[in-house]
Structure 1
Amino acid sequence: MNAPAERADAARNRLRILDAARRRLATDGFAALSLDAVAKEAGVGVGTVYRRFQNRPGLVYALIEDNETRFQQEFTRHCSDGSPTAPDRLRAFLHGLADLVEENRDLLLLAESSAPAGRYRSGPFRRHHEQITGMVAELAPEADPAYLADLLLMAFTPGLFDFQRAERGWDVDRIKRGLDTLVTGIGAAGAAGAAGAAGAAGGQPPR
């Protein structure tokens, strides 16, 4: 009988900690975020925060995960509206991801500076990689979809994305247009591969 209550308490503590982290961020900024301050703001022991999130990057990625949920819900709605083609789905996914990174740019930069490789082990990155791999495999089955997914996700590396926005002065629409070019190229490679395979199966040399 006690286990469900413990799970409920843990869930409530998680929400309290995340709400406290958002308040501290709004008051102190990203650079000053600390687990000790968040624990005090949330009214829980600092050990509770460390057990739940382990370190500052873990807390930051948990905040990002909440926004990730909204992104995934919007993408699911897009996919269920009119059965878009694989290129349209991939474009919509990458555009939505660009908006997500823009909205969370400061949080992502903070996480990247605290744990440079943490992004690649995070739940959102693994999920994005799996989803993009699946869509690329539809577009270009003869290619290496996992590798191409890595290349596409490199566009959303926080430091690079911020450099393009802040130093180069590019707007998000320009980044999206560049991503569209990559999607078009992947689709063209897939079409060429399919034509070559069909030609070989029919005994005709590929053109």
Structure 2
Amino acid sequence: MLYAGFMSADLPPLPNSEEPVDTPQLLTVGSAVDEPCLRADAARNRARLLEAATRLIAEHGVAGVTMEAVAAEAGVGKGTVFRRFGDRTGLLTALLDHSARTLQADFLGGPPPLGPGAPPVERLRAFGVAVLYRTAEQLDLRLAAQPDPTRRFSHPSVRALHTHVTMLLRQILPDADCDLLAQTLMASLDPALINHLTRQCGMPMERLEKGWLALVDRVTGTGV
């Protein structure tokens, strides 16, 4: 399955409410271990190919991502794409890996309000908005990569996001069942639901964004 290996490292258990929750620490995902060993030109080629594939998905969907199309979009030979990713599945897996690490870097160590430095409720609001729009941008890819139902909530990539939301909730509502509340909040950010609401129900992203902000306010009791 494509999604297997998206995040290979096991995540640590959810922290206790007494533990610090704002220390940036990028989670290990997929091929991240390999990337520091790449030559500078190889790293640039990899980034260039991933950017080209991302553009193709935005314009033509996942079906438009072939090794030949990515090579043409990036202005390199087809052999370069095969050497870097092996095959189409390897390329798509690398796209998900890259997207996950970028989001994690932003909410663990990026500028506020998504990153550290803003009040936890503001970070929670910004987190959901970021996930909504990034999921919408790569919706076909994320739908194709959905794990099977028995692994849907236990998969490391889902646990990473759940852990972050739980930690923020523990700062806002220290006496609440934040683990369960995080599951409730994350359910509204599910790619399948976003697909249903935007493509099948015709809802604009602005409505989903307002819905997330309202949900956070109601769950945390911080609405004005």
TM-score grouping bracket, smaller chain normalisation:
0.5 to 0.7
Partner residue, 1:130: 163
Partner residue, 1:15: 47
Q: Mark the CA change 1:41 to 1:110 in structure 2 (over 3 Å): closer, same or farther.
A: farther
Q: TM-score, normalised by structure 1?
A: 0.63
Question: For the Cα contact (< 8 Å) 1:17–1:38, is it kept in 2?
Answer: yes
Q: Which has the larger radius of gyration?
A: 1
**Number of aligned residues:** 181
Equivalent positions of 1:28-47 (< 5 A) are 29-34=61-66, 38=70, 41-44=77-80, 46=82
Taking only the aligned residue pairs, the percentage that are identical comes to 24
User: Do structure 1's residue 49 and structure 2's residue 82 form an aligned pair?
Assistant: no
Q: Deviations over 1:90-144 (max 9, x none)?
A: 12221222222223323323333xx555896465x44422221111111222223
What is the DSSP-based 3-state SS (H/G/I as helix, E as strand, rest coil) of the residue aligned with 1:166? Answer: helix
Distance 1:54 1:186 in 2: 39
Partner residue, 1:61: 96
Q: Give the drift of 1:161.
A: 0.3
Distance 1:84 1:47 in 2: 43
User: Greater share of helix residues, 1 or 2?
Assistant: 1
What is the DSSP-based 3-state SS (H/G/I as helix, E as strand, rest coil) of the residue aligned with 1:76? Answer: coil
Q: Give the drift of 1:13.
A: 4.8
User: Do structure 1's residue 93 and structure 2's residue 127 form an aligned pair?
Assistant: yes
Distance 1:159 1:142 in 2: 31
Q: Mark the CA change 1:13 to 1:122 in structure 2 (over 3 Å): closer, same or farther.
A: farther
* Partner residue of 2:219 out of 165, 179, 186: 186
Distance 2:210 2:57 in 1: 32
Report the aligned-residue RMSD. 4.1
Partner residue, 1:153: 186
Amino acid of the residue matched to residue 86 of structure 1? P
Partner residue, 1:202: none
Q: Deviations over 1:37-96 (max 9, x none)?
A: 657855337364139x96454133035347637854996232689x64332221222122
Partner residue, 2:140: 106
Considering Cα pairs closer than 8 Å and 6+ residues apart, tell me whether 1 or 2 has the greater RCO.
2
User: Do structure 1's residue 165 and structure 2's residue 198 form an aligned pair?
Assistant: yes
Question: For the Cα contact (< 8 Å) 1:61–1:122, is it kept in 2?
Answer: no
Q: Give the drift of 1:7.
A: 2.8
Q: Mark the CA change 1:16 to 1:120 in structure 2 (over 3 Å): closer, same or farther.
A: farther
Question: For the Cα contact (< 8 Å) 2:170–2:176, is it kept in 1?
Answer: yes
Question: For the Cα contact (< 8 Å) 1:36–1:46, is it kept in 2?
Answer: no
User: Do structure 1's residue 175 and structure 2's residue 211 form an aligned pair?
Assistant: no
Extract unaligned runs of 5+ from structure 1. 190-207
Question: For the Cα contact (< 8 Å) 1:20–1:41, is it kept in 2?
Answer: no
Extract unaligned runs of 5+ from structure 2. 1-34
